[in-house]
Structure 1
Amino acid sequence: MADTSIEWATKVWNPSTGCDRVSPGCHKCYALTMARRLKAMGSAKYQVDGDPRTSGPGFGLTLHPDTLTTPHGWHQPERIFVNSMSDLFHARVPLEFVQRVFETAAATPQHTYMVLTKRARRLSRVASRLEWPENLWIGVSVESADYLDRVDDLRAVDQAAVRFVSAEPLLGPLDGLDLSWIDWLIAGGESGPGARPLALEWVRDLIARCDRWGTAPFVKQLGAAWAKQHGADSKGGDWSYWPADLRVREYPLGAEAVTR
Structure 2
Amino acid sequence: MAESNIEWTDVSWNPTTGCTHYSSSKNGGNECLNCYAETLTKRLKAMGQDRYKMGFDVVVEHEDALKEPYSWKSPTTVFVNSMSDLFHRDISDNFLRKVFKVMNETPQHTYQILTKRHTRFEKLPDDLIWSENIWMGVSCGTQYSTRRIPALVKSKAKHKFLSIEPFIQEISEIDLTGIDWVIVGGESGNNSYEREKNEKGEDKFQVIDGKVVYTNVLDDNGNKIIEKVIRPMKEEWVRIIKDKCENQNVPFFFKQWGKTKNNPNPNDPTLNKEHRYYAKAGCQLDGKLFLANPTIKNDSIPKINIFGDEFYVMDEFEELNSIWELKSYLPLMNKELYSQLKDNIKKNGLNDPILYMITSEGKKLVIEGHTRLKACIELNKKNIPVKEIKEDFKNLDDIKLWMVKHQFQRRNLSSIEKIQLAYLSKDTIEATAKMNLSKGGKNTEVTDHVDTNAEIAKIAGVGRTTVIRYSSVLDKGSKAIIDKLNKGEISISSAYNSVKNTPEKTIKPKIKVEREPTDIKHYMSIDVATEHLNSGFIEGIVILKNKEQINLMNNIQKSKFGVIIVD
TM-score normalised by structure 1 residue count:
0.89
Offset of residue 127 of structure 1? 6.4
Report the equivalent of 2:266: 230
Please show how residues 88-99 of structure 1 align to structure 2 within 5 Å. Answer: 88-99=86-97
Instruction: Note the alpha carbon deviations across 1:55-112, whole angstroms, 9 max, x for none.
Output: xxx4421110110010111111111000000000000101111111111111111110
- Aligned to 1:68, what secondary structure does the other structure show? helix
The answer to whether the 8 Å contact 1:220/1:249 transfers is yes
Q: How many residues align?
A: 249
User: Structure 1's 79 and 258: CA in aligned 2 closer, same or farther, altered over 3 A?
Assistant: farther
Note the residue ranges of structure 1 that are not aligned, 5 or more in a row: 50-57
Counterpart of 1:104, as a letter, is V
Aligned-pair RMSD on alpha carbons? 2.2
SS in 2 for 1:114: strand
Paired residue secondary structure (2:113): strand
| Structure 1 counterpart SS, 2:44 | helix
Taking the aligned partners of 2:301 and 2:21, their CA distance within structure 1 comes to 32
Q: What is aligned with 1:44?
A: 50
Is this contact kept in 2: 1:36–1:59, CA < 8 A?
no
- C-alpha contact (below 8 Å) 2:93/2:125 kept by paired residues: no
| Pair 1:13-2:16 in alignment | no
Q: Which residue of 2 aligns with 1:172?
A: 169
Partner of 2:139: 141
CA–CA distance in structure 2, aligned partners of residues 129 and 239 of structure 1: 41
Residue number in structure 2 paired with 1:107: 105
8 Å CA contact 1:81–1:114 kept in 2: the answer is yes
Q: Distance in 2 between matches of 1:205 and 1:257?
A: 23
Say if 2:263 and 2:282, in contact at 8 Å, map to a contact too: no
After superposition, residues 96-245 of structure 1 pair within 5 angstroms as 96-126=94-124, 128-157=126-155, 159-192=156-189, 193=191, 194-224=229-259, 225-226=261-262, 230=266, 232=271, 236=280, 238-239=282-283, 242-244=285-287
SS at match of 2:152: helix
Give the C-alpha shift of residue 129 in structure 1: 3.9
Distance 1:35 1:233 in 2: 28
- Who is 2:41 aligned against? 35
Query: Which structure is richer in relative contact order (CA contacts within 8 A, separation 6 or more)?
Result: 1
Q: For 1:135 and 1:182, how far apart are their aligned partners in 2?
A: 16
Letter in 1 for 2:100: F
Q: Secondary structure at the match of 1:12?
A: strand
Letter in 1 for 2:19: C
Distance 1:230 1:178 in 2: 32
Asked whether the 8 Å contact 2:19–2:85 carries over to 1, the reply is: yes
**Which amino acid letter does the alignment assign opposite residue 54 of structure 2?**
V
Q: What are the superposed Cα offsets for residues 111-142 of structure 1, whole Å, 9 maximum, x if unpaired?
A: 10000000011023316441111101000000
Instruction: Report 1:240-259 matches (<5 A).
Output: 242-244=285-287, 247-252=289-294, 256-258=299-301
1:127–1:216 Cα change, 3 Å: farther
Query: Matched residue of 1:186: which SS?
Result: strand
CA distance in 1, matches of 2:287, 2:265: 18
1:179-221 per-position Cα deviation (integer Å, ceiling 9, x unaligned): 0000000000001223110001111111111112221110111
1:65 and 1:228 mapped to 2: Cα distance? 46
What are the ranges of 5 or more consecutive residues in structure 2 without an aligned counterpart? 24-29, 192-228, 274-278, 303-313, 315-567
Give, in angstroms, the shift of residue 252 of structure 1.
Answer: 2.8
Q: Distance in 2 between matches of 1:176 and 1:97?
A: 36
Following TM superposition, by how much is the alpha carbon of 1:257 offset from its aligned partner in structure 2, in angstroms? 3.8
Q: For 2:256 and 2:3, locate their aligned partners in 1 and report how far apart those are by CA, in whole Å.
A: 19
Structure having the higher Rg: 2
| In 2, Cα distance between equivalents of 1:195 and 1:183 | 29
Q: Shift in Å at residue 19 of structure 1?
A: 0.3
- Name the CA distance, whole Å, in 2 between partners of 1:59 and 1:258: 40
- Contact 1:17/1:83 (<8 A) preserved: yes
Identity %: 37
Q: Distance in 2 between matches of 1:63 and 1:70?
A: 14
- Residue 149 of structure 1 deviates from its aligned partner by 1.0
Kindly tell me: are residues 257 and 128 of structure 1, through their superposed partners in 2, closer, same or farther at Cα, counting changes over 3 Å? farther
Q: Which is worse superposed, 108-117 or 205-214?
A: 205-214
Contact conserved, 2:113 with 2:134, CA < 8 A, in 1?
yes
